[in-house]
Amino acid sequence: MWNLKQLADFDAKKHLDTVFADGEVTEPEKSDLLALYKRYVATNGRPSDELRAEGHRKELYELIHKAYGQVQDNGRLKQLRADLKLLADYCPYCGFAPISDLDHHLQRAHFKLLSIYPLNLVPCCSPCNAGKRRKPSDDPAKHQIHTYLDSLSNFDFLRAKASLHPKTGALKVQYSIEQCEGMSDELYRRLQLHLEEFDLQAKYNRQVNIHLGEHEHSMSSTFARGPEELRSWLVGTADANKKRFGANDWRRALFAGLALCPAFWSGGFRKALGLKDQPDWAAA
């Protein structure tokens, strides 16, 4: 989740030549577009007037904007679409849903000249794509995290606080961002905004139930050897998820949070998962 490796070895000039094979876009204009792409990387894809790049002939904006139609399954740049979708197994915005869409990191309506630029195209799921804001903010602390260009790999920031309702025993998991050492206030706010913008708390609530249900047998059989065994299993599962999916994966945060919730691993997990029978060791 959060970061994806950039598409390797794409040839932006070739894309332009392929789409505009009939000369609708001139060579000097193509050079301007390539220079704009360079500025995009140099400024980490942050929204700016520079990247809006006003001042070209009006038709150019419409031509490039419309050219995104070629980045479809039967368009001239269908291979680009296929290559981008292969970059991720799961949506980088939420971390669990399958890839179905390409999102324009900088919105196509506002940054028309970046409509077919591969680094502005992020493979994602359709709920995340549909839920994203339509207009970029002017406030740098509200800029969307860039999946390719904002490296988050040095930070360990996603937390999940688990608790059981004192009466019903229902599990509550609250996701949050921790401002870890070396993280700027601005990045901290952008990460918090990411949770809100993509409605991740609500999405994770559903995923947590499904995911823990899949682990029910493992947790019950581990708990049969005692609560401390279950706590160790939760720690081990959090570590395994960290290795497999990264430090800020939602599953890693979940299991780490559950390991810090004694009410869960000392037996409350059964009620939280909707299990009614007593475990074997308690009956013995």
Q: Which residues bind Zn ion (CB under 5 A)?
A: 91, 93-94, 97, 125, 128
Q: Which amino acid is at 160?
A: A
Q: CA 4, 45, 185 angle in degrees (round to 5)?
A: 85
Please, which residue, 133 or 225, has the CB nearer to Zn ion?
133
Give dist(CA 122, CA 148) in Å, integer: 8
Please, which residue, 98 or 274, has the CB nearer to Zn ion?
98
Provide the minimum distance between the beta carbon of 27 and Zn ion in the complex, in angstroms, as a whole number. 39
Neighbours of 165 (CB within 10 A): 13
Provide the minimum distance between the beta carbon of 247 and Zn ion in the complex, in angstroms, as a whole number. 19
Please, which residue, 197 or 216, has the CB nearer to Zn ion?
197
Angle of the 216-223 helix axis to the 227-245 helix axis, nearest 10: 140
**Contact (CB, 8 A) for 92 and 153:** no
**Contact (CB, 8 A) for 219 and 237:** no
State how far Cα 192 lies from the chain centre. 13
Reduced to 3 states, what is the DSSP secondary structure of residue 146?
A: coil
Listing DSSP states for 71-89 in one string gives: SSTTSTTHHHHHHHHTT-S
Please, which residue, 33 or 99, has the CB nearer to Zn ion?
99
Please list the residues that pair with 175 across neighbouring strands: 160
Q: Which residues are CB-contacts of 226 (< 8 A; sequence separation ≥ 6)?
A: 281
Please, which residue, 67 or 128, has the CB nearer to Zn ion?
128
Please, which residue, 97 or 224, has the CB nearer to Zn ion?
97
Provide the minimum distance between the beta carbon of 126 and Zn ion in the complex, in angstroms, as a whole number. 8
Please, which residue, 95 or 268, has the CB nearer to Zn ion?
95
Helices (H), 167-278: 185-197, 200-214, 216-223, 227-245, 250-259, 262-263, 269-272
Provide the minimum distance between the beta carbon of 273 and Zn ion in the complex, in angstroms, as a whole number. 25
Provide the minimum distance between the beta carbon of 107 and Zn ion in the complex, in angstroms, as a whole number. 17
Distances (CA, A) of 247 to 71, 152, 154, 155, 238: 33, 10, 9, 8, 9
Provide the minimum distance between the beta carbon of 1 and Zn ion in the complex, in angstroms, as a whole number. 9
- Sign of CA pseudo-dihedral 32, 36, 39, 41: negative
Provide the minimum distance between the beta carbon of 204 and Zn ion in the complex, in angstroms, as a whole number. 11
Please, which residue, 20 or 93, has the CB nearer to Zn ion?
93
Provide the minimum distance between the beta carbon of 158 and Zn ion in the complex, in angstroms, as a whole number. 15
Give dist(CA 112, CA 66) in Å, integer: 9
